[in-house]
Amino acid sequence: MTAGAVLTLPGTPGSSAVIPGFLMQTSAKVTDDVAVSRPGYATAGWVPVSPRSTVFAGLLAAGRYADPFYSTTMKSVNTADFKVPWWYRADLVAGGESGQRTVVDLSGVVSQADVWVDGTLVAAKDRVAGQYTRHELDITALVHPGLNSIAVKVYPNDPAKQLTSGWIDWTQTPPDRNMGIVRDVVVRRTGAVAVANAYVVTGLAVPALDHADLTAKVAVRNQTAATVAATVQATLAGTTLSQPVSLAAHETRTVTFARQSVDHPQVWWPAGMGAQPLYSLDVSADVAGAVSDLAHESFGIRDVRAPLNAGGARAYSINGRPLLIRGAGWSPDLFLRWDARYVEDKLRYVRDLGLNTVRLEGHLEADEFFELTDRLGILTLPGWECCDKWEGDVNGGEPGEKWSEADFVIAEDSMAAEAARLRDHPSVISFLIGSDFPPSARIEKNYVDALRATEWPTAIVAAASDDSSPITGPSGMKMTGPYDWVPPSYWYAKREGGAVGFNSETSAGPDIPTLDTLRRMMSPAELDTLWRNFTASQYHRSPSSTFGTLKIFDNALAGRYGAPTGLEDYVRKAQLAQYEAVRAQFEAYGRNFRDASDPSTGVVYWMLNSGWTSLHWQLFDYYLDQNGAYWGAKKANEPLHVQYSYDNHSVVVVNNRHGAEAGLTVEAGLFTMDGTQKYLKSVAGIGVPGDGDRAVALTVPTVSGLSGTYLARLVLKDGTGREIGRNVYWLSTKDDVIDWANNDWYYVPTTSYANLAGLSGLAPVSVTASATSAGGADGTTTTTVTLRNTSTGKVPAFMVDAHVLGAAGAPVLPVRWSDNDVSLWPGESTTLTATYRTADLSGAAPSVRLSGWNVATRVIGH
């Protein structure tokens, strides 16, 4: 055995340890299931894998395959290798401690497993089934001092047949369908009495927020065949509580401690609304004066409510303040590899984008994920998955087999396990027990019973679609699409996916990465096809026939901006198209949040990110590069934001801060492609209430003499006249014409396109630039870039992008810019800052690459 596949068991009661890794082998090469779990079994040729690893991820890490994220490399993998079970094996070294129980805590098995210890079958696959069930396997009678072995035989996964997870139409399917072990396998040592499922029921006084009541609870279990007396102690909010308990043989009981009152509690808020303080609950069980077991739980004090408003939409509030859910759909890595730093980088992008929520449809991430969302103040909407076994009983002809009696048990056990795991996380604000379809009455009852048994503290939502179920009632959400390209004006209509109610998943579809990323993920021939052939099947889009090509997006791109003349021209036009589409989606929902009738209450962009190198449904790409979609979302979700309305031409200031703003000035100007100003109006003395309210500054009139394509520049100033925001639109005197009569579930046709081809006629301009970099004590570097349009004419520098470069001229990622894709009129200047890890420079001095629509690309150093 290798060192990574050996665990020395902890020697004190109340301790636990994670199996640090396994050796893995196909069952095709194992002839004796009994022998494989016995100490000393020969493992020559077995593959060492990490504690959490699918089969394919383990083989990939061992160098068995070429990069599956490049081109169509993944097609060449022989999927027959994964149609048989695979073994995961590790050794356990025990000391000579007496009176201790040894329990294996197992979850995250995809899809089923037999568990063996020292030649004995501990649990078979009919018991260890389902990705989200949790199993505590008592192996005390099998473990002896010295070397022991555990072997887990994992069976193939098929999301249509098992209650696991799949990839629907998001990406190509992994060759092994993610079979493996994707959560830590934990070995726990206890005395006679174990404690589990510690949690805190919180009650916060709203809206005063000056008092909270806390009640701690914990399950205690007698693991012996005799009656045991124990003392259970909890430390909660600085107070120690104690309670004696007598447990009959093998009895489990919930201990409820006296309610604790906390004045002036530290209240947990989402990012941008306040701080994210966390409290601790520590529990111990003592038997005969000695510690038998320990438990620890973190929690936050906050109040989440999600009633249905007058229009039937689910309307969230937190700590008494109304909250527009600005979210996006989360995707894990395609091979379910866990990388804590990478996950945190993505979640920090969520904050940078001005979003407040991620939705997890299936793929309910590890504990560390929710610890991060708690700490970073990012709300989460976990729930079950569509289009596979999870909805097989209710989704008609869509994928997913009907349920057997065993499936009802697995589903309820899964719900119970996830509810107990997630209930104390302040970032979790609902559970969606259905996605495209609500559960049947029987399934819903099982789910709700399991949730309520854990005292689930937030809303239980029947579905992400506009449906209802008998117990939980109407979902208050809609799932009307679109999922493919629609024009920016689409989002302003209060119908289908437009900005009304709560849209649980929606976007204008394709999100073409930057040229840097495209060249990392596609071959030269594929890149040539990308811009030339609109109807070509795109492997990096989707296996779905509906989303297999980019033809809807590409036809709109050519129809609105002009046919691409090459790859670079295609990519730069795509960035503009993505910017305007994403910005309009979030701006429309932001503007309509405080409408008196039929307000918008939430929108989840589909999606935040992709699990691999993708051409659609992402606000940033797999390598964390930021494209037009990213900058459009970041602009739209600014805390204090000035925006243009495509439907009625109003210019609106939206205030997402808590406090009211006063004394603001809005300036709106319209410009032809030669830079001639055709309209200018300034309105001063504007006040805007907080918490997502808005004020209409002015309405842009019909203006004569505009070119077919023209620019609108909005500038927001504070009471001193200092510019605090700007927003630039590219518009047309010819509207996009939407064919509402032929709306489909994934898009609505556009019969006539706006004319934005005039942008290609913007004259080149010169921009001076300087950059300085300074390292911080925290291991980061900040690069400051100053840009100035030094042209003597009237033409703006349009959509100037900056990228920090490191070793070999590669982009430094991740990076957080103060702003990007900026437009400057002659004489105007701006300063941008970029912060990133110094180590990501790979020893190189930073440089900055500048490019723009009408600004020559160049690299500046220091």
Q: Which residues form the catalytic set? A: 436, 505
Rounded CA-CA distance 821/77 in Å is 40
Chain centre to alpha carbon of residue 429: 14
Chain centre to alpha carbon of residue 199: 25
**For 366-398, what is the HEC assignment?**
CHHHHHHHHHHCCEEEEECCCCCHHHCCCCCCC
Residues with Cβ within 8 Å of 168's Cβ and at least 6 positions away in sequence, in order, are: 385, 386, 387, 388
Assign 445 to helix, strand or coil. helix
Rounded CA-CA distance 18/137 in Å is 15
Rounded CA-CA distance 853/673 in Å is 13
DSSP 620: B
Residue 843 tokens read as: 């020893």
Residues with Cβ within 8 Å of 17's Cβ and at least 6 positions away in sequence, in order, are: 7, 8, 9, 10, 186, 187
Q: Comparing C-alpha atoms, which of 590, 633, 727 is closest to residue 352?
A: 633
Residue 660 tokens read as: 């009211």
Q: Where do we find the tokens 């969302």?
A: 373
Assign 351 to helix, strand or coil. helix
Taking the CB of residue 335, how many other CB atoms lie within 10 A of it? 24
Residue 753 tokens read as: 């396109």
Rounded CA-CA distance 267/206 in Å is 11
Name the CA dihedral angle for 550, 552, 555, 558, rounded to a multiple of 10 degrees: -70
Angle between helices 567-592 and 551-561 (to 10 degrees): 100
Task: Give bridge partners of residue 115 from the DSSP assignment.
Answer: 123, 152
Residue 689's identity, in one-letter code, is P
Rounded CA-CA distance 717/740 in Å is 39
Strand 325-329 to 357-361 pairing: parallel
Rounded CA-CA distance 218/234 in Å is 9
Q: Comparing C-alpha atoms, which of 253, 330, 280, 299 is closest to residue 422?
A: 299
Strand 86-94 to 6-8 pairing: parallel
Q: Do 16 and 192 meet the contact criterion of CB atoms below 8 Å apart?
A: no
Rounded CA-CA distance 50/41 in Å is 20
Angle between helices 367-376 and 340-352 (to 10 degrees): 30
- On the CB side of 377, how many CA atoms lie within 13 Å of its CA? 17
Residue 158 tokens read as: 């098929």
Strand 228-236 to 180-181 pairing: unpaired
Taking the CB of residue 594, how many other CB atoms lie within 10 A of it? 17
- H helical segments located in 437-562: 441-453, 515-521, 524-532, 551-561
Residue 594's identity, in one-letter code, is R
Rounded CA-CA distance 763/657 in Å is 39
